[in-house]
Amino acid sequence: MFPKGEARKKACLTALAEIHLKTVAYLPSNPEAIILDIDYKSGTPMQSAAKAPFLARFKVLRCGIQKLEQLGIAAHQRKHIPEADIRFLSRSEDSLVCWQAAIFKVGDDVRQDMLALQLMNLMRNIFNSVNLDICLFPYRVVATGPGCGVIECVPNSKSRDQLGRQTDFGLYEYFLTTYGDENTETLQRARRNFIRSMAAYSVFSFLLQIKDRHNGNIMIDTDGHIVHIDFGFMFESSPGGNLGFEPDFKLSQEMVAIMGGKMEAPSFRLFASLCVQAYLAVRPYYKAFIALVSLMLDTHLPCFRGKTIQQFRDRFAPQLSDRDAAKYMMSIIRNCFLNVRSKMYDQLQYIQNEIPFI
């Protein structure tokens, strides 16, 4: 068993302190940047009941893959290369030094996350091709070995879990406090960003049947976008022995509150309209989605249990007209609206893992 609480935090810091940069190194999730330094106080265990993922921050110099290769050759020849030389060898107007966080997973097969993010990237490209103004953020995930991987952290964002530990506010109150009252342009912009991203992730979550949507797996960035992370449960797998307990996507009370508080509100109607438009946009490409998933079937990932492809195809409903497909998507939205199973799952996560919720 992995240690928990403060013991897990101490174990993370101890392990991080044993790492020393002796040559040119880079994060597998970001091969365009060289690591200059490590924030040895940043080791933070992530929310997980059975595994031990942890987060760490690194000072990186974004210099591009070609220059990174040059630095690697120079470091190999000299055995050691100081930071001053790194800056000299990497001088260019587009070089940028910044701090970047990454999550390291052990005992977890991140290939499933990689598949989900490939599908997300395909979906985003489709949205862009039809000029549909909604937002997905397909961050980087790299498998580094059996049961190991590195995950890029979503920049300028905090999990709903983190926000819940900082304040007792619901999301709507957080938006009012952060962006201003209802009459401000900043709140309206943040609300629109929230709606645009909520619509995209709702359709994505429905089609892939993304589960385990507790507040540790949902991020809010500084512009108000919602970002879903951690796709360890999808398609035919779900927590609790594949019960499929959660609804098709999460549409909780506090999410609805930001979008007007009721289905008849103009903001919620915009959300529903964008969901329908997103669904109609991806349906013609269902064969491309199925082809990507089919390539991974022989990996025997836990999300594949025999009926994945047929069920995936059925959710695209290719036999329906656009009018009937729009009605179908609206029925999914109505079923997810304030679904009690989402709240019950949040309550369970609070009891088991102390993940706060409103």
pLDDT, one tens digit per residue, over 229-258 is: 999 899 999 988 777 788 999 999 999 999
Structural domains of the chain in order of their starting residue, each with its CATH number:
5-106 (no CATH), 111-134+154-353 (1.10.1070.11)
For the entire predicted model, the pTM comes to 0.87
User: Rounded to whole angstroms, how far apart are CA atoms 87 and 91?
Assistant: 6
> pLDDT tens-digit profile of 14-58?
888 988 877 778 888 888 888 888 999 988 887 655 567 888 999
**Cβ contact 115:293 at 8 Å:** yes
Residue type, 255: M
**Cβ contact 187:195 at 8 Å:** no
Which residue, chain included where needed, has tokens 């052990």? 106
Q: How many CB atoms neighbour CB 44 within 10 A?
A: 17
DSSP string covering 7-53, please? HHHHHHHHHHHT----S---BTTBTTEEEEEEEEEEEEEPS-SS---
> pLDDT tens-digit profile of 283-310?
999 999 999 999 999 998 999 999 999 9
> pLDDT tens-digit profile of 64-84?
888 777 777 776 776 555 555
Q: Is 253 left (phi over 0), alpha (psi -120 to 50) or beta?
A: alpha
Where are the strands (E) in 131-288, listed by range?
Answer: 141-145, 148-152, 157-159, 218-221, 226-228
Sign of CA dihedral 293, 294, 299, 301: positive
Q: Is 109 left (phi over 0), alpha (psi -120 to 50) or beta?
A: beta
pLDDT at 93: 47
